[in-house]
Structure 1
Amino acid sequence: MTPPEIARKLRHALHLHQSGDLKKAVEIYQKILDINPRHPEALHLMGFAACQAGDPESAVALIRRALFISPDCALYHNSLGLTFKALDRLSEALSCYRRALELDPHLIEAHNNMGIVLQDMGKIEDAVSSYQKALEINPELPETYNNLGNACLALKNPKQALHCYQKAVGIRPDYPEAHYNMGNALQMLNRFQEAVMCYRRALENRPDYPEAFYDMGNACQKMEDYEGAVICYQKAAELQPDFYDAYMNMGTALHQQGKFEKALLSYGTALEINSSSHETYHHMGVAFQCLGRFNEALDSWQKALKQKPDDAEACHKLAILLQKQCRADEALIYYHKTLELKPDYAEALHNTGTLYQERRQTDQAVACFRKALSLKPDLVQTHVSLGNTFKDGGQLDDAFLCYQTAIRIDPNHAKAHAHLAHLARETCSWKDLRILTDKLDRITKEALEKGARAPEMPFLSLMKEAHPSHYLAVSQSWSRDLSEKVARTNIHFSFDTRRYEREKIRIGYVSNNFRNHPNAHLTVGLFGLHDRNAFDIICYSYGPDDASSYRKRIRQECDKFVDIRNISDTDAASLIFNDRIDILVDLVGFTRGNRISIFALRPAPIQVRYLGFPGTTGADFFDYFITDRTATPETDALYYTEKFVYMPNCYQVNDHTQKIAKRTWARTELGLPEKGFVFCSFNHPYKIDPLIFDTWMHILSHVPGSVLWLLRGNEIAEKNLKREAGARGVNPGRLIFADLFPKPDHLARLQLAGLALDTRVVNGHITTSDALWAGTPVITVTGNHFISRVSSSILKAVGMPELVTSSLDQYQGLAIHLATHPDELNDVRQRLAANRRTAPLFDTARFTANLENAYREMLNIMISGKKPRQIDVTEPWCTLPLIKPVSRPSEIPTETNRLNSADICS
Structure 2
Amino acid sequence: MNTILATQPTRADLTVDEALQFANDRHQAGDVRTAAEVYQQILRSHPDHVRTLISMGLIARQKGSSTTALELFRRALDLNPQESEVHDALGELWYGQGMLDEAIACYRRALELNPQRVDSLTDLASCLRLCGELTAAVPLYQRAVQLQPDFSVAHSNLGETLLLLGRLDESASSHRRAIQLRPDVAEFHNSLAVALKELGRLDEAICCCRRAIELKPNFSKPYTNLGLALMDQARGDESIACYRRALQLDPTDRVAGSGLLFARNYFPGNDPHVVRAEQRQWNDTHAAPLSQDIPPHTDDRRTERPLRIGYVSPNFRGHCQSLFTTPLLSAHDHEQFEVYCYSDVVNPDATTERLRGYADHWRPVHRLSDEQLANTIREDRIDVLVDLTMHMAGNRLLTFARKPAPVQVCWLAYPGTTGMAAMDYRLSDPSLDPPGQHDQLYSEQTMRLPDTFWCYAPLESSPPVSALPAASGCGITFGCLNNFYKVSDLALRMWAAVLKEVVGSRIVILSGGGSHRQRVLRTFASAGVHADRVDFVPRQAPADYLRLFHQIDITLDPAPTNGHTTSLDSFWMGVPVVSLVGRTAPGRAGLSQLTNLGLPELIAHTPEQYVRIAAELARDLPRLIELRGTLRDRMQLSPLMDAPRFAGNMEAVYRQMWKRWCSGGQP
Report the TM-score range of the alignment, normalised by the length of the smaller protein. Answer: 0.7 to 0.9
Could you tell me which amino acid in structure 1 is paired with residue 486 of structure 2? Answer: K
Could you tell me which amino acid in structure 1 is paired with residue 350 of structure 2? Answer: A
In structure 2, distance between residues paired with 1:356 and 1:478: 31
Q: TM-score when scaled to structure 2?
A: 0.73
Check if 1:514 corresponds to 2:316. yes
Aligned partner of 1:390 in structure 2 is 196
Could you tell me which amino acid in structure 2 is paired with residue 846 of structure 1? Answer: R
Residue correspondence of structure 1 range 374-523 to structure 2 within 5 A: 374-396=180-202, 398-410=204-216, 414-424=220-230, 426=232, 428=233, 433=235, 436-437=238-239, 439-440=241-242, 442-443=244-245, 446=248, 450=251, 453=254, 455=256, 457=259, 458-466=261-269, 467-472=271-276, 483=287, 495-496=297-298, 503-523=305-325
SS, match of residue 451 in structure 2: coil
Could you tell me which amino acid in structure 1 is paired with residue 654 of structure 2? Answer: Y
What's the CA shift for 1:856? 0.6
What's the CA shift for 1:615? 2.6
Contact 1:284 1:297 in 2 (8 A): no
In structure 2, distance between residues paired with 1:680 and 1:713: 15
In structure 2, distance between residues paired with 1:747 and 1:318: 41
What's the CA shift for 1:848? 1.8
Aligned partner of 2:364 in structure 1 is 564
Residue correspondence of structure 1 range 221-240 to structure 2 within 5 A: none
- In structure 2, the CA distance between the partners of 1:350 and 1:523, relative to structure 1 (3 Å rule), is same
What's the CA shift for 1:422? 3.9
SS, match of residue 705 in structure 1: coil
Aligned partner of 1:627 in structure 2 is 428
Contact 1:576 1:604 in 2 (8 A): yes
In structure 1, distance between residues paired with 2:648 and 2:483: 32
What's the CA shift for 1:361? 3.8
Check if 1:582 corresponds to 2:388. no
SS, match of residue 789 in structure 1: helix
Aligned partner of 1:902 in structure 2 is none
What's the CA shift for 1:592? 3.1
- In structure 2, the CA distance between the partners of 1:337 and 1:502, relative to structure 1 (3 Å rule), is farther
Select between 417-426 and 753-762 the one with higher mean Cα deviation. 417-426
In structure 1, distance between residues paired with 2:299 and 2:403: 16
In structure 2, distance between residues paired with 1:697 and 1:676: 16
- In structure 2, the CA distance between the partners of 1:797 and 1:370, relative to structure 1 (3 Å rule), is same
In structure 1, distance between residues paired with 2:621 and 2:537: 25
What's the CA shift for 1:609? 1.4
What's the CA shift for 1:612? 1.9
In structure 1, distance between residues paired with 2:106 and 2:281: 34
Check if 1:710 corresponds to 2:509. yes
In structure 1, distance between residues paired with 2:231 and 2:216: 22
Check if 1:591 corresponds to 2:392. yes
Check if 1:783 corresponds to 2:585. no
Check if 1:701 corresponds to 2:504. no
In structure 2, distance between residues paired with 1:604 and 1:537: 14
- In structure 2, the CA distance between the partners of 1:444 and 1:638, relative to structure 1 (3 Å rule), is farther
Aligned partner of 2:442 in structure 1 is 640
- In structure 2, the CA distance between the partners of 1:809 and 1:299, relative to structure 1 (3 Å rule), is same
Could you tell me which amino acid in structure 2 is paired with residue 459 of structure 1? Answer: F
- In structure 2, the CA distance between the partners of 1:120 and 1:524, relative to structure 1 (3 Å rule), is same
Contact 1:412 1:443 in 2 (8 A): no
Contact 1:656 1:843 in 2 (8 A): no
- In structure 2, the CA distance between the partners of 1:566 and 1:284, relative to structure 1 (3 Å rule), is same
Could you tell me which amino acid in structure 1 is paired with residue 321 of structure 2? Answer: N
In structure 2, distance between residues paired with 1:317 and 1:294: 13
Check if 1:359 corresponds to 2:168. no
Could you tell me which amino acid in structure 2 is paired with residue 519 of structure 1? Answer: Q
What's the CA shift for 1:598? 4.7
- Counterpart of 2:344 (choices 531, 539, 542) is 542
In structure 1, distance between residues paired with 2:421 and 2:127: 26
Select between 412-421 and 473-482 the one with higher mean Cα deviation. 473-482
Could you tell me which amino acid in structure 2 is paired with residue 547 of structure 1? Answer: A
What's the CA shift for 1:853? 0.4
What's the CA shift for 1:687? 1.9
Aligned partner of 2:52 in structure 1 is none
Could you tell me which amino acid in structure 2 is paired with residue 379 of structure 1? Answer: V
CA deviations 1:700-733 (Å, max 9, x no partner) are: 1122222223336557766764465335421222
Contact 1:472 1:616 in 2 (8 A): no
SS, match of residue 450 in structure 2: coil
SS, match of residue 683 in structure 1: coil
Contact 1:525 1:656 in 2 (8 A): no
Contact 2:572 2:635 in 1 (8 A): yes
- In structure 2, the CA distance between the partners of 1:329 and 1:567, relative to structure 1 (3 Å rule), is farther
Could you tell me which amino acid in structure 1 is paired with residue 505 of structure 2? Answer: S
In structure 1, distance between residues paired with 2:387 and 2:413: 8
Contact 1:282 1:301 in 2 (8 A): no
Pick 1 or 2: higher relative contact order, CA cutoff 8 A, min separation 6. 2
- In structure 2, the CA distance between the partners of 1:568 and 1:335, relative to structure 1 (3 Å rule), is farther
In structure 2, distance between residues paired with 1:747 and 1:315: 42
What's the CA shift for 1:502? 8.2
Check if 1:805 corresponds to 2:607. no
Check if 1:294 corresponds to 2:98. yes
Cα RMSD (Å): 5.4
SS, match of residue 607 in structure 1: strand
CA deviations 1:592-648 (Å, max 9, x no partner) are: 344445545554433321112443223344332111243345454444333222112
In structure 1, distance between residues paired with 2:256 and 2:196: 21
Could you tell me which amino acid in structure 2 is paired with residue 626 of structure 1? Answer: L
- In structure 2, the CA distance between the partners of 1:629 and 1:593, relative to structure 1 (3 Å rule), is same
Contact 1:476 1:617 in 2 (8 A): no
Q: Which runs of 5+ in 2 are unaligned?
A: 15-25, 34-57, 78-84
Contact 2:73 2:89 in 1 (8 A): no
In structure 1, distance between residues paired with 2:401 and 2:137: 24
In structure 1, distance between residues paired with 2:630 and 2:72: 83
Could you tell me which amino acid in structure 1 is paired with residue 656 of structure 2? Answer: E
Q: Which runs of 5+ in 1 are unaligned?
A: 1-83, 91-114, 123-155, 157-187, 189-210, 212-247, 254-262, 870-906
Select between 600-609 and 842-851 the one with higher mean Cα deviation. 600-609
Contact 2:237 2:267 in 1 (8 A): no
- Counterpart of 1:860 (choices 659, 662, 665) is 659
Contact 1:335 1:348 in 2 (8 A): yes
- In structure 2, the CA distance between the partners of 1:324 and 1:741, relative to structure 1 (3 Å rule), is closer
In structure 2, distance between residues paired with 1:742 and 1:365: 19
Residue correspondence of structure 1 range 267-278 to structure 2 within 5 A: none
Residue correspondence of structure 1 range 206-285 to structure 2 within 5 A: none
In structure 1, distance between residues paired with 2:255 and 2:650: 33
In structure 2, distance between residues paired with 1:722 and 1:806: 26
Contact 1:459 1:613 in 2 (8 A): no
CA deviations 1:118-171 (Å, max 9, x no partner) are: 58679xxxxxxxxxxxxxxxxxxxxxxxxxxxxxxxxx9xxxxxxxxxxxxxxx
Contact 2:130 2:367 in 1 (8 A): no
Check if 1:692 corresponds to 2:491. yes
Residue correspondence of structure 1 range 70-109 to structure 2 within 5 A: none
SS, match of residue 518 in structure 1: coil
- In structure 2, the CA distance between the partners of 1:719 and 1:535, relative to structure 1 (3 Å rule), is same
Contact 1:493 1:577 in 2 (8 A): no
State the structure with more CA Rg. 1
- Counterpart of 1:755 (choices 516, 529, 554) is 554
Could you tell me which amino acid in structure 2 is paired with residue 854 of structure 1? Answer: V
- Counterpart of 1:680 (choices 479, 483, 488) is 479
CA deviations 1:791-850 (Å, max 9, x no partner) are: 222223334445433433343344334445678989999997896566533433322221
SS, match of residue 455 in structure 2: coil
- Counterpart of 1:606 (choices 386, 407, 423) is 407
Contact 2:385 2:409 in 1 (8 A): yes
Contact 1:468 1:785 in 2 (8 A): no
What's the CA shift for 1:388? 1.5
Aligned partner of 1:373 in structure 2 is 179
What's the CA shift for 1:390? 2.6
Select between 583-592 and 392-401 the one with higher mean Cα deviation. 392-401
Aligned partner of 2:54 in structure 1 is none
Q: TM-score when scaled to structure 1?
A: 0.56
